[in-house]
Every structure is written in structure tokens, then in C-alpha cells.
Amino acid sequence: MMSRARSYLKRYAFPVLRETAHYLRFSAAKAHARRLQNVRFVGITGSAGKTTTKDLAAAILATQGSCHSSPMSKNYPDGIAQIILSVRPTHKFCVMEVSGGQPGELDRPMKIFTPEIGVLTLVAKDHFKAFTSVDEIAAEKSKLISALPAHGTAVLNIDDPRVRAIGESCKCNVLWIGEDRGATLRLIEARSSWPEPLTLKLEYNNEVYFAKTQLHGKHLSLSVLAALGVGIAADVPLAEAIAAISEIKPTEGRMQVVDGGEGVTFVRDDWKAPHWSLQSPLEFMADARAKRKIVVIGTLSDYSLSASKLYPKVARQALAVADLVIFAGPHALRALKARKDPDDEKLKAFTELEAVSGFLASELQPGDLVMLKGSNKADHLVRLYYDRQKPVQCWVSQCGIPDFCGGCSRLYRVSGSSAEGKPANTAKPLAKTGSGPHSVVVIGLGNPGEGFVGTPHNLGYQVVDQIAQDAGGSWVSTDNQISFCKIVLADQPVTLVKPEVPINRSGPVIRRYLEETGNNHDACVLAHDDIDLALGDVRVKHSGSAGGHKGVDSVISALATSQLTRIRVGFRLEQMGAKARDSVTRAFPEQVMAQVRQAVQSAALKVEAQVEAKNAELA
């Protein structure tokens, strides 16, 4: 009853309450804005560079008087209303970034405040899935420029054709920035070769200026130009504006350099990772001067290719500029298709970030330059840096918190539910260090506990239970979260294994067991459920990705190899339809139990055949 009530509140009541709160805040902000007639508002939008532009522009305007600006990337409509409410009549300037990530998203903010200066950095495929075309994205961004009064100034990127078209129809003053000879503030040259920071050679009013910054990456030249353009529009002398930004540090997660300790340097570009923007940080790494260059790539967004084609393509691009490339996250294993040799150590992939951290702990050396490129909300790659300062306790995937981890109370909090503790070192595939009488290991995946008996996710358990029963074996529980059963199968000694942890966290436990027994993946057969196969369909697979199975993902990541013999036991029923994934932890209907038992027996026979093959290989 309580769970039904919570579900109702979450689905119906909370959205209504949230929208009501947003409306009330919007109304209050609109009324408050009328009292801010003397505040000069600056609005910044674009597909990239908004936050860095905002931070630099605020530093410039602060030299002329009190300046208020958006915290971090608070650029959504309700966030803008909150910022307006925090502005005081005593402020001389207010600088805000505005997203426009959804059709119509700029409509409400433009009803709250009227910018005197508007910036449009560029138009690209950011949030592409929310729109039907890049032209639609441009139309949404242009609303900020259209809101400028006749005496206002638009600071626009002349090198972007869509931005240029918007500017050419503008009714206010336009200050063009870019490399084109028609630019008001023209970029003549940009230099940024690590460890040297970004330095610009500029031309304005037929005079040449040099702007040395604390930023890194030539692509941030656009943000510097845009911020200086805001300064010019606000009557700040260019020389003063250049001086104002000379000591400004990079915005967090935007090509931010941090000391990783022991001579290792991290470059955090981990706020977001649209595919179209990836070339810029890779170019930075290509130009960098470092003992060794390492690129860690998380979840990519805003791409048109299928993930199976995209990740290998990106892997090849990264391998062209780096000595070591590591992919992390649910699509990581797809990148391994880019390997020219299965034993290529230059390309690594881990589905779990904790495993990446374990790998880096043993791999990084003094002089290494490590680029972190990912989507913060999906990956929280910054934990790789924090784990070098102090052991991180939270390795949750997809926690849904949009902020960086630094201020999160869970980062270093020891959780009682984290029973498996620090993971086994997953730096490299396991080497076989010994041979005992039970050289072949058959592992069944599942969830421990009575509540999961008879569910699809426990088909792996059922397979090894069936084999144990047929062989007259008995299970032994250990303190290492493993149950095992020693039997003879196909005239050879075999160990059956069940990880006693939630199925999605099976990998580290299995790796520890194999390390303790001196085995490696070559000696393993893994039995598990498979949603892509119909009930009764049992197949053998010797390599490849996990196909979306998080338990298998965990094992592949922990063993650092996808070369793993697997017995896939299908469970899809026609009546499941699109809801099949929701049924993995629900008991099978009684009417199909005979089919389930038959599938388990079929899987047990296939396991026996694979054991014979393994013994022949290991002989």
C-alpha cells in the first residue's frame, strides 16, 4: 500500500508541486527584475564555451563595479529565476549563461530579464536529440540575441555560418569576434602547447594585443574572445580587460589542470562529452609535451552513429594522439573493436569506474599527463582524481546527481552496504599462477537470497545447482562472498562457483577468487541469463560484449578481458514484450516452469561440453 502511494506521489503529485514552485519562482523573479533597472544584464548562450565565457566576462566587468554571475552552470529556466532573485539593485552588472537545451527553453528566461549585451558562441549538435536539426538549435539560441534592445550589443562568432546569419539580421549593434578578417576583435594566432598556457595574438581597431591566460587548449580562444567582446561592449578598455583575465583559473571541469600527486597531472574536461566536441581536447593532447600521454574517455553524447560504431572510431582517434587510451562506462567494451591485436595494451576498457581507478593506481608514473573526458552526470570521472588523494568510498554508477563530486557527502563516507570493499586489482587480465586438481571453474551468476529464487536473473545459479545435484556435490560457503562445490564432470575435477553478492557486482568477487586459486579466465565457463534469447534457447559465446547485462559487464571489466566462454540461457517470453527488462527479478510464471527446467538441463549439457574442451586446452 505504501509503495503504491509513493509511486502515485512520484508520478503525479511531485511533478505538479515542482511545476507550481517553478511558476511561483518565475513570477517572483519577474516582479523583482522590475526593481533592477540600473543593473546591466549580460546573457551568454551557445552550444559550447558558455561557462568559461561567463566566468571570464564576470572577472572583466568586476573591474568596473559590483558584478553578480551564475554559479557553475546554472543555466536552466528555474535556475535563472533563482539567480535573478539573488541580484540586488546595488549590483552594476549581472552575467548569466542561458542553455536552450530544449525547444522553447529560452522563452521563459527572456520574459524575466532583458539583456543589454548578448553572446552567442557557436551552434553545434549539443542537445541534438531534443531538436530535429541544427538549424532548430540555432533558432532557439537566436532568441537571446533577438531579445536585445536597439541600443544593446550582440557579441557574435563570425566564423560560425549560422551565428553569422543571425548577426546579419540583427537590429542592434554587433561586435564580431573570430579569425575572419571581418571580425571587430580578430584572432590572429592562438598558442597552447602543454605545459604552456593559452596565449592569443589579437587585433582590435588596427592595434595588436597579446593576451596570456591561465587556460589550456586552443579551442578556449573563443571563450576568451567572447569575454573580451563583452568588456568592449561595456566600455572596458581592451588592455584592462586582458589584464583582468590574465590570472583567472580554468572553470572546474573545463580543461582544468589539477595535480594528481607523485608527478602525475590530470586535465579535467569532464563536464560533458558531446561527440562533436571531442576533437578539441584530442588536439590539445597531440600538441602537449609530456613523458607519456593518457586519455580516459567516459560516456559520449549527441552522436548520430550507433554506439557500436562510434566508440571504436573514437578509440582510433584517441590512439593517434595518446600512448594509452582507457574507456570507462557501459559502452566501454565497444571501444575494444579498435584493437588491431587482442593483446594490444595501448587500449583498455572497463565498465566500472572503480576498476579504472585500480588500474591507474598501478599504471601511472611521474611525468604522465592524463586527460579525463566524459559526461559528469553519467560518469563522475573526477573520482579518478579524488581517489589518488584519499580512498573514494562511493563508486555508484549513474547516481543522477548533476554536480561534481567534490562537495558530495558520499564521496568518502564508508557505507555499510559496500560489503566487497576495495576491488581486486583489475589492471591486467589474470595470469594463471598455479594448477590444482580443480583447474576448470564453472561460474553461475545470480542474486543471493530467497526473494530471487526462480527469477530469470538466477538462471546462472540454477545451472550450477543442477550440475551439482546431478554430480552429488554439496555447496560450501566462504568468508569471501563465494559458495563453491567441487565435483567431477566429464571425468575431470571441476569447481562450481556462485558469487554471493548482487549480480551486478559479481566481477570483483570472481576476480579475487580466481587470484586466490591461481586460475585465470581461460579456465572459466560463465553461465548467465540472456534477455535477447527466447526461453529455451541456450547458446555458447566465447568473446564479445555483455550485450547490456550488467552482471556480465562487471565480470568482463574485473577480468579485463572479453575473451570469456559464456553459456547464455534465454528467458524472453512473447507476452513480456517491451517490459522484458523489468521482469529479470520476478519469478517465472508457473505455466513455463517446465520450459525453464528444460533450458537449465540443456545449459548444463553445454557446460559439460565446454568443460571437456577446456580440459583439452589446459592439458
* pLDDT at residue number 490: 81
* pLDDT at residue number 170: 92
User: 400 near 295, Cβ under 8 Å?
Assistant: no
Name residues whose C-beta falls within 8 Å of residue 596's C-beta, 6 or more positions apart in sequence.
459, 462, 535, 571, 588
Domain boundaries in the chain? 25-245, 256-407, 440-618
Extract the C-alpha cell encoding 507: 566481477
User: What separation in angstroms does the CA of 408 have from each of 413, 424, 434, 590?
Assistant: 9, 25, 44, 46
User: 306 near 271, Cβ under 8 Å?
Assistant: no
Between helix 459-471 and helix 593-618 the angle, nearest 10°, is 70
* pLDDT at residue number 388: 94
Domains 25-245 and 440-618 alike in fold: no
CA 245, 249, 252, 254 dihedral sign is positive
The number of residues making up the chain comes to: 619
Q: How far apart are CA 534 and CA 34, in angstroms?
A: 64
Q: How far apart are CA 569 and CA 134, in angstroms?
A: 44
User: What separation in angstroms does the CA of 28 have from each of 75, 87, 304, 514?
Assistant: 18, 12, 41, 62
* pLDDT at residue number 416: 44
β-pair type (185-191, 117-120): unpaired
**Which residues on neighbouring strands pair with residue 484, listed in sequence order?**
476, 497
* pLDDT at residue number 432: 55
**Which residues on neighbouring strands pair with residue 155, listed in sequence order?**
119, 175
Nearest CA-CA partner of 527 in 556, 561, 565: 565
Within 347-437, strands assigned E span 347-350, 368-373
DSSP sequence for 388-413: HHS------SS----S-GGG-TTSSP
* pLDDT at residue number 60: 98
The one catalytic residue among 32, 216, 275, 457 = 457
Question: Is the peptide bond between 195 and the residue preceding it cis, with omega within 30 degrees of 0?
Answer: yes
* pLDDT at residue number 306: 87
Residues of the chain with confidence (pLDDT) below 50: 1, 416-427, 434-438, 578
Q: How far apart are CA 264 and CA 258, in angstroms?
A: 9
* pLDDT at residue number 164: 98
User: What separation in angstroms does the CA of 16 have from each of 5, 13, 20, 22, 25?
Assistant: 16, 5, 6, 10, 14
Homologous superfamily assigned to 440-618? Peptidyl-tRNA hydrolase (3.40.50.1470)
Look up the CATH number of domain 25-245: 3.40.1190.10
Can you give the pTM of this predicted structure?
A: 0.75
151 is catalytic: no
User: 216 near 267, Cβ under 8 Å?
Assistant: yes
Q: Which CATH number fits domain 256-407: 3.90.190.20, 2.40.160.210, 3.90.1530.10, 3.40.1350.10?
A: 3.90.190.20
